[in-house]
Structure 1
Amino acid sequence: MTGLFTRRDIARLGLGFSAAAVLGRPALAQGPAFFRIGTGGTAGTYYPVGGLIANAVSNPPNLVVTAQAANGSVANVNAIASGALESGFSQSDVAFWAHTGTGLFEGKGKVDDLRLLANLYPESIHLVVSKAANIKSVADLKGKRVSLDEPGSGTLVDSKIILAGWGLSEKDVKADYLKPNQAAEKMRDGGMDAFFFVGGYPTSAITELAATSSGIDLVPIDGPQADEIRKKHAFFAADEIPAGTYKGVGATKTLAVGAQWVTSAKVPDAVVYEIVKGLWSDKTRAALDAGHAKGKFIRKETALAGVGIPVHPGAEKFYKEAGLLK
């Protein structure tokens, strides 16, 4: 890396690098570059994967990358837009809606500056149910106690889409809005029939629940209703959670969205170039392969798969050098 940030530049980093960009100062001056990654709740997949990437990509004292727990896709996009975060993980659907001002962001304005660093891995939609609840289909959720995940999460958005695909809405279930670990605890105590989670498998909250409760199932999100959802929302793909991923649970067909690492166009190109170069280094490859079951799915060959927003110029430079972009 050529050069370091000044203390004044560090202060600007907390504002999403916007001041530095406006003033046209060098991207890499005196002092370390701090780059935060907004992830998700500690019981999900974003948080541990974000920690692995941050530790591997950091190159102190020049570049300090940190991962922090957050409320997931929507909250991360909003934080990037406001300058509270330099980057974050987001579902591909949420990133697309934010950049185009559609879907969840309809009437809220476009997040014009949202840019892609990399597509990471597929996020599977889990519909976790207690065996005692006898829920075999999404349609069976009617009248049941169901957590749709917390406000600001991409899971909440997708859970509503799934319910609608089977002719249901929030009003048709006894809805709660909990993080997956909280929903799992409530299910273990008999106070929850089902909960949605969108993320890479396996996730610790569900693994622990399957191992310590009287039994869980995963409900298939498949068939004509799922096909219609895919036609209407192109960011969904067919997916399957393998048998044995969770104790006592067989193979389950479902839908998935891409987990993407996004940032702001205001972040200097030189910083993003170093970040993306570090992401696809041998050091990070080893950390991802050893550190999390989803790590092996994070591949340079699929870094630009399912792209619905512009690629950051700094990332674009790397991908052109790597032969992934012309």
Structure 2
Amino acid sequence: MTPDLDRRRFIEATGLAGIAALAGCTGGGGSTETRISWHAGGTGGTYFPLSNEFKTIVEENTDFTLQVQSTGASVENVGSLQSGDADFALIQNDVAFYAKNGEGIEAFKGNPVKNLRGVATLYPETITIVTLADTGIETPADLEGATINTGDLGSGTQVNAVQILEALGISEYTEQNAGFSTAADQLKNGDIDAAFVVGGWPVGAIADLANTNDVEIVEIKGDNRQAVLDAAPFFATDTIPGGTYEGIDSKRETVSVQAMIATRAEMEADTVEQISAAIFDNTDDLTIKTDFITKASAQDGMSIELHEGAQAYFG
């Protein structure tokens, strides 16, 4: 091969690489970045499949590409937004408040996450205490002395579980920490007695467990529920309808928090506005939590300052 041919091929190759690099910098629709990092939650909960539905909607209606990542959910996701590893994330409204104000949760005490911003609230996140029917656990008092999976260490689920157990006066228990899917396996194997699951019903991990095992949901009602409501301002009353899970034909009373979309202050206002519009102008394309996710209710329970792009869309 001649030196001239080598030189010409090198120039052609580097020229193509330069064009590709420029294309990556400019992106679609005039945006400087079209890849959006979206942090969800565990694959056995609601955050992950819902985030993938958001991904489909956003990619069909904008030039953005969403990279949905499975995570330990709320507390971890706040850290990812703070560091810039995530652009958007699903978190709980109580965790958002604690993070923004630097209180309530050990990870945030004295360390407020100043760049955390709200986009929209989505749906009630039901707090479900699930057990197998043969454990004999029927009321919250029966949790005393039990082995309980309170959720991934540092997650919003764990925070809620510990708050609720304290409010219910349950002080002696062995704590295990794992995600919803692992908790279901632990229940099947008899490694734990009960598990806390936080997510909009029906939660996939509970539904799968109920299809193969006799499950029971421990109700939080009456004085117990009032004690939980008095313990923190973010808890609200909630009911799991009968028939939601196999073998549980009657409703179960409990409490909930609120799921929300959060972002970071550094995100371009136009990007946040476009993402918001794509999702909330096309909620008819969703199949998950369709009774709750609407533009009209998207600021109900918003616990932190809105991003300017969300403010532009929601008004």
Per the shorter chain, which TM-score range? 0.7 to 0.9
Question: Alpha-carbon deviation of 1:32?
Answer: 4.9
1:9 to 1:94, Cα distance in 2 relative to 1, 3 A: farther
Segment drifting more, 215-224 vs 58-67: 58-67
* 8 Å Cα contact 1:241/1:253 also seen in 2: yes
Is there any run of 5+ residues in structure 1 with no aligned partner, and where?
Answer: 11-26, 321-326
AA matched with 1:227: Q
- Asked whether 1:315 is paired with 2:313, we answer no
AA matched with 2:246: K
- Asked whether 1:238 is paired with 2:237, we answer yes
* 8 Å Cα contact 1:118/1:260 also seen in 2: yes
Count how many residue pairs are aligned between Structure 1 and Structure 2. 292
Is there any run of 5+ residues in structure 2 with no aligned partner, and where?
Answer: 1-21
* 8 Å Cα contact 1:80/1:263 also seen in 2: yes
**1:300 corresponds to:** 295
* 8 Å Cα contact 2:62/2:278 also seen in 1: no
**2:7 corresponds to:** none
* 8 Å Cα contact 1:165/1:226 also seen in 2: no
**1:77 corresponds to:** 78
Question: Alpha-carbon deviation of 1:152?
Answer: 2.7
Segment drifting more, 29-38 vs 51-60: 29-38
Cα distance between partner residues in 1 of 2:51 and 2:31? 27
Question: Alpha-carbon deviation of 1:177?
Answer: 0.7
Segment drifting more, 136-145 vs 117-126: 136-145
SS at match of 1:201: coil
* 8 Å Cα contact 2:239/2:251 also seen in 1: yes
Cα distance between partner residues in 1 of 2:242 and 2:63? 44
Segment drifting more, 63-72 vs 124-133: 63-72
**1:286 corresponds to:** 284
The two structures have a TM-score, normalised by structure 2, of: 0.88
SS at match of 1:119: strand
AA matched with 1:112: K
* 8 Å Cα contact 2:41/2:72 also seen in 1: yes
Counterparts of 1:125-164 in structure 2, within 5 Å, are 125-164=127-166
**2:41 corresponds to:** 40
- Asked whether 1:227 is paired with 2:222, we answer no
Between structure 1 and structure 2, the one with the greater Rg is 2
Structure 1 runs, 4 residues or longer, greater than 4 Å off: none
Counterparts of 1:85-96 in structure 2, within 5 Å, are 85-96=86-97
SS at match of 1:296: coil
The two structures have a TM-score, normalised by structure 1, of: 0.85
Counterparts of 1:196-215 in structure 2, within 5 Å, are 196-213=196-213, 215=214
Counterparts of 1:190-201 in structure 2, within 5 Å, are 190-201=190-201
* 8 Å Cα contact 2:25/2:33 also seen in 1: no
* 8 Å Cα contact 1:148/1:176 also seen in 2: yes
Cα distance between partner residues in 2 of 1:30 and 1:236? 39
* 8 Å Cα contact 1:49/1:295 also seen in 2: no
Cα distance between partner residues in 1 of 2:243 and 2:109? 43
Cα distance between partner residues in 1 of 2:217 and 2:270? 44
Q: Percent identity?
A: 32
Cα distance between partner residues in 2 of 1:118 and 1:97? 17
Question: Alpha-carbon deviation of 1:28?
Answer: 6.3
**2:119 corresponds to:** 117
